[in-house]
Every structure is written in C-alpha cells, then in structure tokens.
Amino acid sequence: MQKIGVAIIGPGNIGTDLMYKVIKKSKYLDLKLVTGIFAESEGLRLAREEGIETSARGIDAILERDDIKLVFDATTANAHMKHAPLLREAGIVAVDLTPAAVGPYVMPVVNLNEHLDAPNVNLITCGGQATIPIVYAISRVTPIPYAEIVATISSKSAGPGTRQSIDEFTITTSRGIVEIGKAQKGKAIILLNPAVPPMIMNNTIYALVETVDEEKITKSVENIVKEVQEFVPGYRMKIPPTFDGNKVTVMVEVEGSGDYLPKYSGNLDIETSAALAMAERIARDRLLKIKKGE
C-alpha cells in the first residue's frame, strides 16, 4: 500500500506514544524520522530500537529532506510557533499537538473531513479532545450561552512539554469550546493530581443551556460518546447528563490504550489518537489525488 512519508518532532511522552501508534496502526503513514534536541533522550532511544531513523538536530533534520510530507509536532506551543512557518515554507503539512493554535482546530468526531488542504491543523489540547465533543453534542440540541470544562489528569502523565504550555492550554481549550463546541462563551481549567497510584483522566463538563430537553440532550451525548469510542475505546461516560435548572453536568473518563504509556495517561492517548486519525485522513486524501493524477 502506498504511504506518505512523515516525521515526529518532539520525542517526549506524546511523541513517543504517537510513534508506536503510527508503527502499529497506520495504513497510510510511513514514519521516516523521529527528531528532538537531546541525543540521549528515552524517546530517541526507543525509536532506534524500532528501526526508525533519529536525529538530535530538531526541525533542521526534517527541512533538509524531501521524503517527508507531513510532520507531527509534539514539542511545546512556543516551539511550534517557530516551526510552523518553516514547515509551511517547505510545503510540509503540520499536525500540531501543542496548544499553539496556528492552524484551524480539528476534532475527529466533529470536523475530520474539513481542512484537509490546510498547511497546518491544530489538535487543540488533550482536555479539549476529551470534553469539547460533549459540549458540541449538547449544542446540537440547544444553544449554550456558557460552557466550562475541568480536566483532571495524573501529575505523572504531564511531561515537561505539557507543563510548559499550561497557559496556552487554558486559552486554546477555551477557544475550542466556542469554535468547535459552539458555546457562546467557554472556560477551561486543568488540574494535575499527584495521587498514588495515578488516577486516569477525569473530565467534568458544565453547560448552561437555553432550552432544557433532557431526553434529546442525553441521547445526543450518548451518541457522541459512541463516536469518540471508535478511535479511543477507553473513553467512557462516568456520569450521564444531570440537570439542575438550566445547568447540564456530564463527567467522562479516559483510559489510555497502553500503546506506550500507562493506561492512566488517557489524556495523552486521546490527543495522539486524534492526531493519528487526522493525519490518516489527510494522507488518504492526498494519495487518492495522486492516484487520480490531480
């Protein structure tokens, strides 16, 4: 099967988990390179064990090649702000797993087939991928003047990149609640829980709605949960929609698939799963165009 050459920049927790997903699950992606800035990093060591070419020269190792057409950026928001124009100039599609939000927001269960020709697409945040589908499901039934999400993750699953981008997380997720979730106003909060043993990702979604239709809202939420489960099996509704006047509360938890990281790191798993789904769709679209001679 013909595939598109891809690279991963940022071999931390997210980048390494994504590497195993591409190797094990991808139909249309050929992982050519994993690159970072520390030659002795654990992620680069694991990539070499899998027979993947590695580099410690960061984005420079990508830009000097002509066989890489798509790059997963799993660094930090600040780093991606520097990478994005370089990748665009080189004609390389960027699938951004940081909260930099250079390109349009994408979420598999909402707009997987949109932005296939965009030079840069943004996966929002792990908290956004876990919670915004619920906001979107409610907004399909009734307008939402305000929505708020609280994402609680294990402290052990938050690596240096995640910690450096906390401020960007709250800003980008809040915007995603509005742009993708269709709430009129949104707010996002992330909590790092140091509990031992580590807890799996838990998310609480609050929405103020204009019209309270309990049956329709509940059905819409149940349907979106099933759609997310198609690419993240460990996505589960912990508490179904509960109603208090015009306030709707939903709780969901995310257990990881264990491709690389422990299963409690569902926050990383849902982000890398979404990135893989989007990249697969972009690659499939490009390969079909090549086949048709477009």
Which two structure tokens, joined as six digits, stand for 293?
A: 């001679």
For the chain, how many structural domains are there in total? Answer: 2
Q: What residues make up the domain containing 205?
A: 126-262
CATH number for the domain spanning 166: value is 3.30.360.10
Q: Determine whether 200 is exposed, middle or buried from the number of CB atoms within 10 Å of its CB (0-12, 13-18, 19+).
A: buried
Query: Is 235 in the same domain as 145?
Result: yes
Q: What is the pLDDT of residue 246?
A: 98
Closest of 74, 102, 89 to residue 7, by C-alpha: 74
Q: Are residues 66 and 108 in the same domain?
A: yes
- 8-state DSSP, 186: E
pLDDT value for 274: 97
Q: Summarize the annotated binding site for NAD(+) as residue ranges.
A: 267
Please give the pLDDT value at position 291.
Answer: 85
Same domain flag for 137 and 78: no
Task: Give the pLDDT score at 1.
Answer: 66
pLDDT for 175: 97
CA separation (Å) from 226 to 134, 187, 223, 232?
11, 25, 5, 10
Give, for 54, the enclosing helix (H) or strand (E): strand 53-55
Query: Which pLDDT score, from 0 to 100, does residue 178 have?
Result: 98
Sheet holding 4-9, edge to edge: 53-55, 29-35, 4-9, 70-73, 93-96, 120-122
Question: Which of the residues 19, 90, 93, 126 is marked catalytic?
Answer: 126
The CATH number that applies at residue 64 is 3.40.50.720
CB-CB contact of 3 with 283 (8 Å): yes
Alpha helices in the chain (DSSP H): 13-25, 42-49, 60-63, 77-89, 108-111, 126-139, 160-164, 166-179, 214-229, 266-292
Please report the pLDDT score of residue 228 as a whole number: 97
104 and 170: one domain? no
Annotated binding residues, written as ranges, equal: 267
Verify that 204 and 189 share a domain, yes or no.
Answer: yes
Q: Are residues 96 and 134 in the same domain?
A: no
32 lies in the same domain as 117 = yes
Between the alpha carbon of residue 34 and those of residues 41, 59, 75, 103, 216, the distances in Å are 11, 10, 12, 22, 46
In sequence order, the β-bridge partners of residue 105 are 122
Any catalytic annotation for residue 170? no
- For residue 162, the model assigns a pLDDT of 80
Residues lower than pLDDT 50 in the chain: none
